[in-house]
Structure formats: C-alpha cells, structure tokens
Amino acid sequence: MARKPGSRSEITGPRLREAALRLFARDGYAAVSMRQIAAEVGVQAGALYLYTADKQSLLADLMADHLEALLAAWAAEAPRGDARARLDHFARFHIRFHAARADAVFIAYMELRNLTPENFARIEALRRRYETELEQILRDGQAEGCFAVPDTKLAAMALIAMLTGVNTWFREGGRLSLPRVEDIYVDMVLKAAGAGGLPR
Amino acid sequence: MARKPGSRSEITGPRLREAALRLFARDGYAAVSMRQIAAEVGVQAGALYLYTADKQSLLADLMADHLEALLAAWAAEAPRGDARARLDHFARFHIRFHAARADAVFIAYMELRNLTPENFARIEALRRRYETELEQILRDGQAEGCFAVPDTKLAAMALIAMLTGVNTWFREGGRLSLPRVEDIYVDMVLKAAGAGGLPR
DNA sequence: GGTTGAACTGAACGGGCGTTCAGTGACAAT
DNA sequence: ATTGTCACTGAACGCCCGTTCAGTTCAACC
C-alpha cells in the first residue's frame, strides 16, 4: 500500500495544521512528536514533510498565520470616533477574537521560546504591531484629554495582559456569557484608562 | 573515580534545584534533559536521583515551593486597614515578589500542563488560595463602598493577569525603576477597581 | 587505621526522536 | 490501455531520552 484512496493535498495540508495546532496547544511543542501529529492526521510521519519543511517552521507558520489573521481582522474593523469608543471597541474585539481561537492564542504566547532567533524576530514584530494599535488609541485619548494614563506603553501592555487573561479561565457555557464578560472587562479597561466605566 | 572530593548533599541538592529552575524557565520542562541539568550541576545524570524521585516531581516541587513561599510572604505582610490601602499593598507586593523570582513565576505559569493530574491539583489549589486573597480584598472594598467592581471573581483574575504581565517585559536597569512601575500599576489597579487612582 | 555508609560514576536498558528516501499504489490525462 | 506524477508507506539513519544499578571512592567515626 502506498497512496491512500481519496487522498489529496488540499485535504491533508489543512488537517496537518489543525492537528498540530491542537496538539501543540494541549501538550506543548516540545512534548509533541511528528509521529503523534501524523497519527492524528491518519498518515505516516514521513508524509508530513510534503507539507512542511520541518517541525520548527510548522510552529512558526502557525504562529505567524494567527498573528496576521489578528492584525487583518483588526484592520478590517477599523473603528473611527473618539478614543474612548475605540478603546471600548478594541477591548471587545480582543476578547471576542481570542476566545474564538484559544489554541492559536495559547501557542502564540507559550511557544515563543521554541522559535529559532529568526522566526522569533518575525513573530515578535507582528505582536508589536498589534500592541502599537492599542498604544495609539491610548495616546490619542491622552491628547484628547479623555484618558489619564501614566505611561501609554505600560498601559498598553497591562491592558493586553488583562484582556488576554480571559483565555485562561473562560469556557463556553460557564457562569457568564461572552458578551457579559466583554461588558465587565470593558468597564475595567475604561476605568483603568481613567475614562470612567461603562454607564450602568 | 566515583565520589567527588568535597561533595556533600547539602550542596548538590540546592544546586540541582537552582539549575533545574533556570533551565526549565529558559527552555521549558519538556525541552530540558536530566543530562543537561546534571551537566550544569557538575555531576552525572544518575546522581540526580539521589535528590529527586524523578523529573516530574522535580518540576512539581519547584512549583509548590514557589507558591508556598508566595503565600507565606503575603501572610507575613498581613496588611490591615481599609480595602483601598490593602489593594494598594497587594499590587505592590505582587509586583515586587514576582519581579524577584522571574524564573519560578514563569515556570509556575507555563508548565502547568506538564504536571500529572495529582500534582496539578496540588499546585492549582495553592494558586487559588492566592487568588482568593485578592478577591477577599475586592469583596471587602465592595462592602465598604469604596470599590465599584462588576464581578469580584473576574476582577481578581483580571488584576492578577495584569500585574503578572509585568514579568513579560520588566528588566532591571530598563527605562523605569521597579518602584516607578509599582506606582503606575497601582494607579491602574485602583482605578480599575473604581477606587480612583493614585493622588498626583 | 579499619570500618562503614554516603556520594557519585559509567554503562546499560528499552524506547522514542526528527528526518530522509527508495519504492509503490492510486489517480488523471491521453 | 498506457503513461506520468502525485501522495504516501515503511524502513532506516544516528541520536537522545528517563531511569536503574553494580561498582568505586571519599569522608567520618571508632
């Protein structure tokens, strides 16, 4: 037996990426073997190398794709208006987007140290572009006088850490719905920025 | 050659733990071999098993020791006074304690999935005890009427995520001193809790 | 100074790792 | 019906893994 009946690269390729994403998120990059991934795909390990150069670039590509999708999704929303409204929008967008892709988010935050220096630089640049989006909102709000933030760079990182933290505990079907969680976090984010909370 | 001159268990034991802590933090539990740790200690791999039952409990013990030290240190500070003052104190304590033990903090947050279920339960219980400390402050402040938090449980996790995020970027000798960072974060934490910021 | 036991070595165990590659069966085009 | 190529197998490569253990050497005590 060599080629499997019905096998096609447009199917196996995506399946490889899905399996790798799920397993890397669950067990960690270093703890997952190519043979495990192959078993999940339903293929022998050697066949994976038709779809990725090696294990390292499989990880790097998953991370880069996630961050590029994040930036593209944010660019597509392109909120206008005053800084307060844009910060509200950013917080909701961040929670929603990250909740929908928990595995990719987890990998993008946990597996940075398993990247080669070149791949790390590529990924880190993407992450920084996203942070800058938030920092720009904070700077604008500071200029408009509607925020009171001691340091926009620190505040940007603090708020992103807070928002991303949702992923560590949020589970669909839990005590709170996602829109309710968004409300609560938007309230805290706006207050932390000195823009008052959500109207109650 | 068998026993090394000058070797003593009171020395090798701690050295094993220090090496494991540093290497686990830098490369991740799964990516570090017992032989690497042994080389760092200056000993053959087999000798490590005089000091730890296996690799897994080496990790679990490092994490448990860290969290127990955290709880003990917080208990020792035992702040009194109104909720606002205690929240201020908590934020400063958290940043200071975590900045001083970056490696242990990193491991305690990143290596949870490498624990056996029994060890995970042990560690998770310790972490939850710490979260409860903060939540109690928030509940007290809510009762006193000096905080305005939509959900104390979520707020506790949000604030801890924000405070722990300092460790991802803070480096001694950078743009901001640690006391200055504490001030900035205390301001954001108090505001997020609805208690106004730091007086300026 | 002989004895005891703690501290450690070095080799071995069975197994899994990432990656390569010659071979092979299934499909599409002719 | 034949051909060509695509998708995949299965075995192999050299290497490293966590852990065990018989043997060796040093330090301390009597």
A95 interfacial to chain B (CB closer than 8 Å): no
Q: What is the pLDDT of residue B78?
A: 83
In chain A, CATH 1.10.10.60 covers 7-52
Contact A165 B151 (CB under 8 A): no
How many angstroms separate the CA atoms of A87 and A63, rounded?
A: 25
Name residues 44-83 of chain B with a Cβ under 7 Å from nucleic strand C. Answer: 44-47, 50
Chain A residue nearest residue B195, CA to CA = A191
Contact B31 A114 (CB under 8 A): yes
Residues A195/A85, Cβ–Cβ less than 8 Å: no
Q: How large is the average pLDDT for residues A28-49?
A: 97
Nearest nucleotide by C1' position to the B32 CA atom: D17
Residue nearest to nucleotide C17 (CA to C1'): A33
Chain B residue nearest residue A151, CA to CA = B184
Residues 110-169 of A with CB under 8 A from B: 110, 113-114, 148-151, 154-155, 157-162, 164-166, 168-169
For residue B27, CA distances in Å to A16, A73, B42, B169 come to 25, 32, 19, 18
* CATH of the domain spanning B55-192: 1.10.357.10
pLDDT greater than 60 at residue B66: yes
Mean pLDDT for all residues in chain A: 95
Protein-proximal nucleotides of chain D (any atom < 7 Å from a CB) = 6-12, 16-27
Verify if strand C has an atom below 7 Å from the CB of A157: no
Residues A26/A106, Cβ–Cβ less than 8 Å: no
CA angle B115, B119, B125 (to 5 degrees): 115
Among positive and negative, which fits the CA dihedral B45, B47, B51, B53?
positive
Q: Which residues of A touch B110 (CB under 8 A)?
A: 110
pLDDT greater than 70 at residue A14: yes
Class of domain B7-52: mainly alpha
In chain B, CATH 1.10.357.10 covers 55-192
**Which ipTM value was assigned to this complex?**
0.92
pLDDT greater than 80 at residue A56: yes
Give the pLDDT band of residue B4 (cuts 50, 70, 90). low
Chain B residue nearest residue A161, CA to CA = B162
